[in-house]
Amino acid sequence: MAETTGRETDLAGISARDVLEAAPDALVVVNDAGVIVQLNAPTEQLFGYERGELLGRPIETLVPLRYRAAHGVQRAAYHQDLRRRPMGASPELFGLRKDGTEFPVEISLSPLATKGGPLVIAAIRDISARKRDEAERHHLLRERLLSAEISRLARKDALTGLPNRTLLHDRLSGAIRSAHRHGHELAVLFLDVDRFKDVNDSLGHAVGDRLLESVATRLTACVSDTDTVSRQGGDEFVILLSEVRDRADVRGAAAKIIAAVTSPHRVGTRQLHVTASIGIAIYPGDGGDSETLIKNADIAMYYAKDHGRDNFQFFTEDMNARIVERHALEGSLRRALDRREFVLYYQPQIDLETGVMTGAEALLRWRRPDRGLMPPGMFVPVAEDSGLIVPIGQWVLGEACRQAREWQDAGLEPVPVAVNICAIEFRSNGFLDGVRRILADTGLDPRLLELELTESVLMESVGASAGVLRELKAMGLRLAVDDFGTGYSSLSYLTQFPIDALKVDQSFVREISSEGEGSPIITAVISMGRSLNHRVIAEGVETQAQLAFLQAQHCEEGQGFHFSRPLDADRFAALLAPAGA
């Protein structure tokens, strides 16, 4: 065993002190008991001890308290494996100065066999400066990586990972320069998911986000690697086709994209159906820079929406005037409610066997000071796209209930009034509370109010629709499916809904010839309605031949010009007055 006193050890006849003092690094000699038997002046300087304060002390004196237990275990293991361990191992540890400060060190260990027993020479180097340099380099690297990530995020859409507006403009500008040099065309497609707001309002933004991710994936799959799919925000996407030969190429791409978007989307347990409207601008004919091309494609997209949605339109110069008119129409719509410019007309519904009035449908009209009376087809699509349809729909429902109660209070024959409810209204969060409030405010008997919804509205989310309909039925209202036969016409779905009536779409009624021959479709639709024990109302009855055919098919009720055109409230009141009054 080596000495464990404070006396210096002689190394092979050479003074240990002479050898140790010649080294530039701190050197500490430890015996197999872990006791310091020699050290040099750099050790004193590094750790702040006098030589006599360390000789005979355990090596753990130079190790921070929290590391001492682990250090003792490591030291014991080292001595057990002394002959097999490679020399010069340089672990990085922490040293402890006499004043209690800690600092990083690098230790190189070298075993030494002596007559007195095995020793270990530990060369200890202060690596504080190196650690500061490394930390600074890591900090700079993190800053560079963070800057690169921020730059990437600034050019990517956070939800879909697609290029955003900024990156799209860069790529489009580059594509324009390339098209100019090589003399070819490129196309910009501006896509909007039709009635996406309905999904957010009815199913929540989380479902809406998953739907947008699904749309983004399908759009990317529709184009080549040299093209760009970008999300502008909301439910708007822009697709850059960087090189096209002619418009036939663009038509094919647009048709492929619409087909991809309209295919059902699986979001969790739901299967969602949406359509898309696309506007197309071609370089160089429709614009020579990125801003103009995107603006004109956007204008063409609105034109596609005005033409029934679920289609694509190429930009033309006259669209500019139409889009200006559309924006003006939206502005006028926003003011129309406050200015009381809306009015309701009422069209009677007739029992086809007895000719007695069974109800009336409330029909919205806009009495514009500058244009006169406008039918809903001229402004409702704009109201739906702008979100104005919700307050307008609330006004329609409230006015219809108020008018029905006024007729009743005047002693006129009470008849149910039917009001159309669009998808955005039906899916809005406050819809049910709004119906309750209107009934309470007007005092109308709920049995005199019938709400009409289309099949497509009901089928968007069958479970949610059924729940809302049950609550409406619990209030005492009557419910009808409007435009029946043009949507899903699924008996299995319809049996889940507490429906009172089916309204046969007027397109089927128009197919009845003057000789009284009708399409097999209308016969099947009437039969389906009757099999569900629902009242069946045929819309758009205009001729005696149509009436005769419907009577022969046992259709119960009808509505159309053959009986009466829509009338304002005063003229309709005359129809409710008792005979001879």
**pLDDT tens-digit profile of 284-295?**
999 999 999 999
Cβ neighbours, 10 Å, residue 481: 25
Which residues, 6 or more positions from 529, have their beta carbon under 8 angstroms from its beta carbon?
Answer: 484, 502, 504, 535, 536
Which three-class secondary structure state does DSSP give residue 50? Answer: coil
- Burial string for 410-442 (b: 16+ CB within 10 Å, else e) reads eebebbbbbbbbbbbbbbbeebeebbeebbeeb
pLDDT in tens, 207-247: 999 999 999 999 999 999 899 999 988 899 999 999 888 89
- pLDDT one-digit tens code per residue, 271-318: 888 999 999 999 999 999 999 999 999 999 988 987 888 999 999 988
CATH number belonging to domain 10-130: 3.30.450.20
Secondary structure (3-state) at 422: coil
Distance (Å, rounded) from C-alpha 389 to C-alpha 370?
A: 21
- State yes or no: cis peptide before 284, omega within 30 of 0: yes
Tell me: the pLDDT tens digits for 112-155?
888 888 888 888 999 988 888 888 888 888 877 766 555 555 66
Give the confidence band of 385 by pLDDT, cuts at 50, 70, 90.
confident
Beta strands in 24-79 (DSSP E): 26-31, 36-39
> Residue 518: helix, strand or coil by DSSP?
coil
Q: The domain 330-576 is classified under which CATH number: 3.20.20.450, 1.10.10.10, 3.40.50.720, 3.90.1170.30?
A: 3.20.20.450
- Taking residue 496's Cβ as centre, other Cβ atoms within 10 Å add up to 15
Pairing label, strands 357-368, 417-420 = parallel
Average pLDDT over residues 446-466: 83
In the chain, the percentage of residues whose pLDDT exceeds 70 is 88
* Fold match between domain 165-316 and domain 330-576: no
Q: What are phi and psi of 374, to 5 degrees?
A: -115, 130
Q: Cα–Cα distance between 456 and 487 in angstroms, integer? A: 6
Amino acid at 464: A
Q: Which among 533, 460, 454, 511 has a CA at the least distance from the CA of 275?
A: 460
How, if at all, do strands 276-283 and 312-314 pair? Answer: parallel
pLDDT of residue 488: 53
Greater pLDDT, 417 or 149: 417
Residue 277 contacts residue 284 (beta carbons within 8 Å): no
pLDDT confidence of residue 429: 82
In sequence order, the 6+-apart residues with CB closer than 8 A to the CB of 423 are 195, 198, 454, 456, 457, 460
Q: What is the pLDDT of residues 483-519, one digit of tens each?
A: 876 655 556 667 778 889 989 888 888 888 777 677 7
Sign, CA torsion 51/55/59/61:
negative
Across the chain, how many H-helices and E-strands are there? 22, 23
The two tokens of residue 278 are 């696309």
Question: What is the dotted CATH code of the domain comprising 165-316?
Answer: 3.30.70.270
Long-range CB contacts for residues 542-547, cutoff 8 Å, separation at least 24: 542/509, 543/512, 543/514, 545/512, 545/513, 545/514, 545/515, 545/516, 546/509, 546/512, 547/352
Q: At what angle do helices 569-576 and 389-409 cross, to 10 degrees?
A: 40
At residue 200, the pLDDT reads 80
> Torsions phi, psi of 311, nearest 5?
-155, 175
Closest CA to 397 of 424, 418, 427: 418
Q: Is 345 helix (H, G, I), strand (E, B) or coil?
A: strand
For residue 266, the cross-strand partners are 271
Residue 350 predicted with pLDDT over 50: yes
Burial class (CB in 10 A: 0-12, 13-18, 19+), 321: exposed
Strand partners of residue 347: 361
* C-alpha neighbours within 13 Å on the C-beta side of residue 55: 15
Which tokens sit at 472?
């409406």
Domain assignments of the chain as residue spans, ordered by start:
10-130, 165-316, 330-576
Per-residue pLDDT for 9 more than 70? no
pLDDT in tens, 58-76: 988 998 887 776 554 455 4
